[in-house]
Amino acid sequence: MSRPRKPMTVAHIEGRNLVHPERYKYRNEPTAAPLGEPSPWLTELQQEAWYGFVAEAPWLNATHRCLVEIASIMRSRLMTGGEIGIQSMNLLRLCAGQMGLTPVDASKVAWAPPDEPDDLLD
């Protein structure tokens, strides 16, 4: 099995893009639209869980929609206090890990809050 591709930011830091420019010539960092509003088919409680995930993880974008939908359904079950099985808990844990919401996975997320403009001179 081949080695995973090195992200462009790491290649720039290590100078790999200068050593082997042909490897990085046509690569770009993936970008996606914002996460947006919850799907209309989610119930009110599931939408509340959706907004909870948005508040906890501002780095989520449109590529995470499916994961956030699944996690919102699972979290809404927890919020109602109903019975939730081990498999559902594992699914929620898996979704949380994939979205960078666990302590270990949070260190892998490359996100910084937007800088506030300096209004001192305005």
Q: What is the DSSP string of the chain?
A: -PPPPPPHHHHHHHTHHHH-HHHHTT-------B--SPPTTS-HHHHHHHHHHHHH-TT-BGGGHHHHHHHHHHHHHHHHT----HHHHHHHHHHHHHTT-SHHHHTT----PPPPP--S--
Question: Which residues form the domain of 50?
Answer: 32-106
Q: Determine what percent of the chain is predicted with pLDDT higher than 90.
A: 40
Q: What is the pLDDT of residue 30?
A: 66
Flag whether 121 is in a domain.
Answer: no
The count of domains in the chain is: 1
Flag whether 62 is in a domain.
Answer: yes
pLDDT value at 42 more than 60: yes
pTM recorded for the entire structure: 0.68
pLDDT in tens, 63-115: 899 999 999 999 999 999 888 899 999 999 999 998 888 877 666 666 666 66
Mean pLDDT of the chain: 84
Q: What are phi and psi of 5, to 5 degrees?
A: -65, 140
Flag whether 17 is in a domain.
Answer: no
Higher pLDDT, 49 or 2: 49
